[in-house]
Structure 1
Amino acid sequence: MEVETITKSGVGIHRNQTKKTHFPSIEDKLKPLLVSMKILGIYFDPTQAKNKVEPSETYASKANPPGWWRSVNRLYCYTVLLLLWFNFGRCAVGLFPHDGSLPLRIITTSWMLHCALNATIIIAACQKFTHLRSFYKHWDSLYSSKGSMASGYIFPLQCQCVRPGSAAGWLLTLVNIAAVYVLLFGDLPVSPAYIQALTRPFPASAWMIIFNMVLHVFQSGAWIFPVVFIAIFARILRGQFIQLGKILSKKIDEADGHFPCQLPELRFHYTQLCQAVDIVNRSFKWLLGVRVIFDMFLACFAAYQIINGSSDTFVIAVDVFWLGGGVLCIIVSALCSSDVHDAAHSLLDDIFSIGTQNVTVEQLAQLNLFLAKMTGTSIGFTAIDFFVITKEFLLTLGGLFMTYFFLLLQFKIA
């Protein structure tokens, strides 16, 4: 059996492979990320039994986690989710009266709502069979389907970004926790206002401060790790489209003006990858939509406070932190999502360069189907199905924010 893979130096053919090739599950490849999210209480293994596709002997020798452990993990996540919504409700009740610290209360309350919504979306995606479980099953089936094995094309799963991405998520989470710790216990001029804003409507007792610090760990994870979750999944999907494009380009060059006979198998892989994008988008569209709405609000409100609010150095520093955090989360989420769209449509130039010498009617139909798939509905992640996330969307969003920022400056000067 010949197996064609993508190497750093190009496309390579490897022979003398066993007839049955064992592939690790994508869940195994994503283990650092998924374990991190489990610790933070925003992810648990899907409720259905694991469906491994020809697992390796090493993996098969390991017993699956017992049912009671999965139940404890799920109960832990739902407990964290309940606490996140309780914390938002507590802060929402104490949002008013209108005084000097109202802007700070608005920022913290909207941020807590954002964290609770993120956790709810991911936990619902873990619970529903048609979301993450369906994606894992579909992705693993790509390596065992008759079309994949018959064609001889095996695309290695590129997951080099999982460990660095998970480490970056923990770093940013710890920075956010440390920043709030300094504000609460650093005896700064603004510390009393922040303590009152975070403990409202209850008295600012030591136990209430500790309770908020513990919850802040989970809230920070629910704010940062959904971005990492989207970014890593997007990089994996982008890598698969790019590998497919390299093989398609190679086969077109080898055909030398004729129709490449491998096009039906390559089209099959492409449609399967597009279906994987559609499945994972069932969850990501809500994460991206909530991210755009709340982080844009956070950035705009923080920008307003920087220009029209207090001139205290510490207050400005905190507003800059919120502004930078909101902008950074939007940029990372949108850029990684737009990369999926660009990679999925990057094969279009190769399709137009396919030779049609001695082409048959059936081959021409395959070519038209391939072309129709890429020129039809845009392939990529969406924001609540309103629009596909592309680089043009990010540019438009940046232009709107800059217009808003300079209008604030103009009114301030006037």
Structure 2
Amino acid sequence: MFQTKETQTEVTENSPIDIENATQLESLEKRCERSSLHEDDTDVDGNGGGSVDGNGGGSAERHVKATDVPLYRALRPLIVSMKIFGLFHEPTLQSLVAVKGPFIADADHGNRGRSWKIGCGFGCLYHLFVTCCLWVYFLRYIPGFWNFDTELELYLKIVYGTWMFQCSCNATIIYLACRRVSKLPKFLLHWHLFCDGTKMRAINDRLDKKYLRKKSLVLSVACLILIFVNIAATGYVSLSPNIPDNVQVFASPWRSYKVALGLLFFHAYSTAAWLFPVIFFIVVSLAIIKQFEKLFRDFSDDITRNDGYAKEIEEFRLWHLHLCEAVAIVDDIFSSLTFIAYLTNIPLAIFLLYQVLFLRLDSAVPFIMHCYWILCNTANVALISWFSAELNDQAHSLLRIAHFVRIRDPANDLRFQMYMLVSKLTGPAVGISASGLVVVTKGLILTVVGVFATYFTLLIQFEMQ
């Protein structure tokens, strides 16, 4: 990618502009070579910075573990809670990480067998076992759709079956994210090298670990409370003798109270699979959003201090570019989660609201159940949509002040750097997509609300006719 000295000698005969660009690329390469894996400029084994292979070039190989990444340690309360329910295992990072300039080399597939043996410990097998159990828990429910006594029982089975399908998909998404090198391991490495621990720039942007640890702890406790409440409510509704019909819905295709009591254990894991992946996405999004906000503040302060001129424009552009790359990796992890949330929760919310308004619910218990489910489905979509849209908004926030930057000498490299920065800001939307189909923005949220209102209006019209 970078030009050598021989190439630069040949370029000398061409134009001074090419000479300047080659010099800048060589300078950038030297700064990239000083990239550090740790905040204290030492590697994991306690050795000083420098190339492990002893070549002194732009290539460095270092041993990296997930626990060496500050972001991973900041998310420890949430990760521990997810491990308890078999929804997370230690991601297998590359045993040797090759760094060339501003890029992470491709995964060393030659060490895949060894990495697989090391990674498939108890946590990985437990995660895989829970994921398979959740799918079995969902598949046992399918025969019950052909065996129902009342119309309300069929409707409840549709709602409950769709919810279990979403839980199984969430658990699978997190398992693949931890297992595949191109997903969570790649994100942790990229974040640690270029978004938090890099020495490429003089700007000191460190991760607010206390803030993320506090958020992780609070949200984890909230999830545990919701799991307990959901299990208690489901147990009361399904096992109460005063509501005999609900045991047929919960324990389908069986109708035994003993079976329903045993299924409450799996129901707890399903509830955790419904909650924790969304919370994990929220906390990761918060970490990136905070970095974008710090980038915006530092960029504004730099312009203010220099009377409208930006002296560190190249450093800010690279900082923004690495954060956008982190967003792209997160999108590769959670785009399926967003798609499943839209695919299941929006139709369910419309379906449940229709039942509340037009079906004759015999008692207060079914009415409260339906209202509770509507609230949960709406909150699930709202949280995912809002943080995805906020991530997109922060990724393009520099555009609000980029056009105010003054260029002292139009012939130098600052104008070229500004063109590249503005091109990135005005280019394709940066953010979380729904399975790669559309990026979630605030405009898309308004569209989803309009779709919800439109389809609900159509249902009302059909009912009136």
Shorter-chain TM range is 0.7 to 0.9
When normalised by structure 2's length, the TM-score is 0.76
Residue identity opposite 1:405 in structure 2? F
Distance 1:171 1:51 in 2: 41
Aligned to 2:76: 31
Q: Is the 8 A contact 1:307 1:409 kept in 2?
A: no
Aligned to 1:130: 182
Q: Decide whether aligned partners of structure 1 residues 179 and 19 sit closer, same or farther in structure 2, where only a CA change above 3 A counts.
A: closer
Which of the numbers 247, 261, 280 marks the counterpart of 2:311?
Answer: 261
Aligned to 1:180: 234
| Deviation digits for residues 248-292 of structure 1 (CA, Å, limit 9, x no counterpart) | 00011112133x221101111110000000011111100000011
Q: Is the 8 A contact 2:239 2:257 kept in 1?
A: no
1:153 deviates by 2.3
Which of the numbers 216, 221, 234 marks the counterpart of 1:162?
Answer: 216
Residue identity opposite 2:311 in structure 1? C
Q: Decide whether aligned partners of structure 1 residues 234 and 84 sit closer, same or farther in structure 2, where only a CA change above 3 A counts.
A: same
Distance 2:131 2:288 in 1: 29
1:372 deviates by 0.5
Q: Is the 8 A contact 1:111 1:294 kept in 2?
A: yes
SS of the counterpart of 1:253? helix
Which of the numbers 256, 259, 281 marks the counterpart of 2:331?
Answer: 281
Worse-superposed segment, 70-79 or 320-329: 70-79
| 2:366 maps to 1:321 | no
Residue identity opposite 1:204 in structure 2? S
Distance 2:322 2:372 in 1: 41
Aligned to 1:309: 359
Which of the numbers 408, 427, 435 marks the counterpart of 1:376?
Answer: 427
1:233 deviates by 1.1
Distance 2:118 2:199 in 1: 36
| 2:445 maps to 1:394 | yes
Q: Is the 8 A contact 1:340 1:380 kept in 2?
A: yes
Residue identity opposite 1:37 in structure 2? M
1:145 deviates by 3.1
Aligned to 2:280: 229
| 2:197 maps to 1:147 | no
Distance 1:384 1:217 in 2: 28
Which of the numbers 108, 111, 116 marks the counterpart of 2:163?
Answer: 111
Distance 1:68 1:133 in 2: 15
1:211 deviates by 2.4
| 2:262 maps to 1:211 | yes
Worse-superposed segment, 360-369 or 306-315: 306-315
Residues matched between the structures, number? 378
Distance 2:444 2:205 in 1: 34
Aligned to 2:409: 358
Q: Is the 8 A contact 1:161 1:235 kept in 2?
A: no
Worse-superposed segment, 324-333 or 169-178: 169-178
| 2:401 maps to 1:347 | no
Q: Is the 8 A contact 2:407 2:414 kept in 1?
A: no
| 2:384 maps to 1:333 | yes
Q: Decide whether aligned partners of structure 1 residues 119 and 255 sit closer, same or farther in structure 2, where only a CA change above 3 A counts.
A: same
Which of the numbers 224, 236, 250 marks the counterpart of 1:198?
Answer: 250
1:72 deviates by 0.9
Aligned to 1:291: 341
When normalised by structure 1's length, the TM-score is 0.85
Q: Decide whether aligned partners of structure 1 residues 325 and 364 sit closer, same or farther in structure 2, where only a CA change above 3 A counts.
A: same
Q: Is the 8 A contact 1:40 1:221 kept in 2?
A: yes
Q: Decide whether aligned partners of structure 1 residues 245 and 115 sit closer, same or farther in structure 2, where only a CA change above 3 A counts.
A: same
Worse-superposed segment, 402-411 or 171-180: 402-411
Which segments of 5 or more consecutive residues in structure 1 lack a partner in the other structure?
Answer: 1-17, 53-66
1:187 deviates by 3.1
Q: Decide whether aligned partners of structure 1 residues 248 and 113 sit closer, same or farther in structure 2, where only a CA change above 3 A counts.
A: same
| Deviation digits for residues 116-145 of structure 1 (CA, Å, limit 9, x no counterpart) | 111111101110000001001111112443
Q: Is the 8 A contact 1:241 1:273 kept in 2?
A: yes
Q: Is the 8 A contact 1:155 1:243 kept in 2?
A: no
Q: Decide whether aligned partners of structure 1 residues 178 and 69 sit closer, same or farther in structure 2, where only a CA change above 3 A counts.
A: farther
Aligned to 1:59: none
| Seq. identity, % | 29
Residue identity opposite 2:416 in structure 1? A
Q: Is the 8 A contact 1:310 1:316 kept in 2?
A: no
SS of the counterpart of 2:147? coil
Aligned to 1:250: 301
Residue identity opposite 1:353 in structure 2? F
Q: Decide whether aligned partners of structure 1 residues 174 and 368 sit closer, same or farther in structure 2, where only a CA change above 3 A counts.
A: same
Distance 1:387 1:43 in 2: 28
Q: Is the 8 A contact 1:51 1:137 kept in 2?
A: no
SS of the counterpart of 2:88? coil
Residue identity opposite 1:367 in structure 2? M
Q: Is the 8 A contact 1:307 1:408 kept in 2?
A: no
Residue identity opposite 1:161 in structure 2? K
Worse-superposed segment, 323-332 or 390-399: 390-399
SS of the counterpart of 2:178? helix
Q: Decide whether aligned partners of structure 1 residues 69 and 261 sit closer, same or farther in structure 2, where only a CA change above 3 A counts.
A: closer
Which of the numbers 90, 94, 106 marks the counterpart of 1:45?
Answer: 90
Which segments of 5 or more consecutive residues in structure 2 lack a partner in the other structure?
Answer: 1-38, 44-67, 98-116
Greater RCO structure (CA 8 Å; 6+ sep): 1
Distance 2:266 2:344 in 1: 20
Q: Is the 8 A contact 1:118 1:222 kept in 2?
A: yes
Distance 1:388 1:144 in 2: 28
Q: Is the 8 A contact 2:433 2:439 kept in 1?
A: yes
1:68 deviates by 7.9
